Amino acid sequence: MLFALCSFEKEDIMRMILLGAPGAGKGTIAKLLTDYDGSVQISTGDILRGAVKAGTELGKKAQGYMERGDLVPDSLIMDIMESRLQETDCKKGFILDGFPRTIPQADALKKLLEKLKLRLDLVVNLDVPRAVILDRLTTRRTCSNPSCQEIYNIKSKPPTPDGKCKKCGSPVIQRADETEEAITKRLETYNEKTAPLIQYYQKERILKNISSTSSEEIFKHIQEALKGK
Ligand code: ADP
């Protein structure tokens, strides 16, 4: 049985997972896709950073793990996702960015989608060389406004000369988990806990592997993969 439930009606909306190491470009690609088809990007990283900034209970529980470059416990993440996937904007389709991150999360997502009677169309793995990833992560900067979180790069997409976001004017910062030590830890965590999901979705026959560093090219490959769905 494929991940998708065959009895579900074919709809014109897309539900997708983006896999890839930190810095592989999941956020950038997700933004391109949502601008194109009106679906919503759900980034567990953005949700968690928003909660930390707002000082909510969830934020307090998650902060330590995040700053060390460790994963937040699966149970916290599943609580977030169970309610997020039932919000009305998800009716237009969604792109999951940074979730699932472990095999137990993928198993729990499968059950959750079955419960909500939602079909998953595609899992895309962005396969980017480690050297490119390291360079991107150390030069990445993020808008500090939780409802903006625009991503910048000091080499290829700088903020304003005084370090402000070009979209909303808030200060652009280097994330606490983007020190060299935390980056190394995040990549290790990725290899150990998240990379096995590539095989997991390969077995479900829903995976599309894309080895490219050009957003435009990746976008084209995804469009092609979705055509057959
Ligand atoms: P990355 O650039 O590392 O992919 P994210 O913005 O996706 O960063 O996530 C930042 C941090 O938030 C992760 O290092 C982790 O601590 C936590 N996090 C985000 N998504 C998950 C998840 N699905 N499961 C567990 N922890 C998560």
State how far the Cα of 7 lies from the Cα of 10, in Å rounded to an integer.
9
Q: Can you point out the beta strands (E) in the chain?
A: 14-20, 40-43, 93-97, 122-126, 140-143, 151-153, 172-173, 207-210
How much distance in Å is there from the Cα of 46 to the middle of ligand 1? 8
Report the residue among 31, 42, 48, 109 best suited for mutation to probe ligand 1: largest number of ligand atoms under 8 A from its CB: 48
Residue 136: CB within 6 Å of ligand 1?
no
- Cβ partners under 8 Å of residue 198, min gap 6: 19, 125, 207, 209
Q: What is the atom index within ligand 1 of the atom nearest the CA of 189?
A: 14
State how far the Cα of 48 lies from the Cα of 66, in Å rounded to an integer.
9
- For 67-105, write each residue's pLDDT tens digit: 888 899 999 999 999 999 999 999 999 999 999 999 999
Give the pLDDT confidence score for residue 210 in this predicted structure. Answer: 97
* The pLDDT of residue 4 is above 50: no
- pLDDT band for 11, please (50, 70, 90 cuts): low
Give the pLDDT confidence score for residue 213 in this predicted structure. Answer: 85
Q: Which two tokens stand for residue 35?
A: 């601008």
Residue 65: CB within 6 Å of ligand 1?
yes
Look up the pTM and report it.
Answer: 0.85
How much distance in Å is there from the Cα of 145 to the middle of ligand 1? 18
Residue 71: CB within 6 Å of ligand 1?
yes
* The pLDDT of residue 2 is above 70: no
- For 118-155, write each residue's pLDDT tens digit: 999 999 999 999 889 988 888 989 999 988 889 899 99
- Considering only CA atoms, which residue is closest to atom 21 of ligand 1? 44
- For 24-57, write each residue's pLDDT tens digit: 999 889 999 999 989 999 999 999 988 998 999 9
Tell me the sheet residues that pair with 171.
164
User: How long, in residues, is the chain?
Assistant: 229
Report the residue among 70, 72, 76, 175 best suited for mutation to probe ligand 1: largest number of ligand atoms under 8 A from its CB: 72
Q: Which two tokens stand for residue 71?
A: 């994963």
- For 172-215, write each residue's pLDDT tens digit: 998 887 888 888 888 999 999 999 999 999 999 999 999 988 99
* The pLDDT of residue 5 is above 50: no
Residue 77: CB within 6 Å of ligand 1?
yes
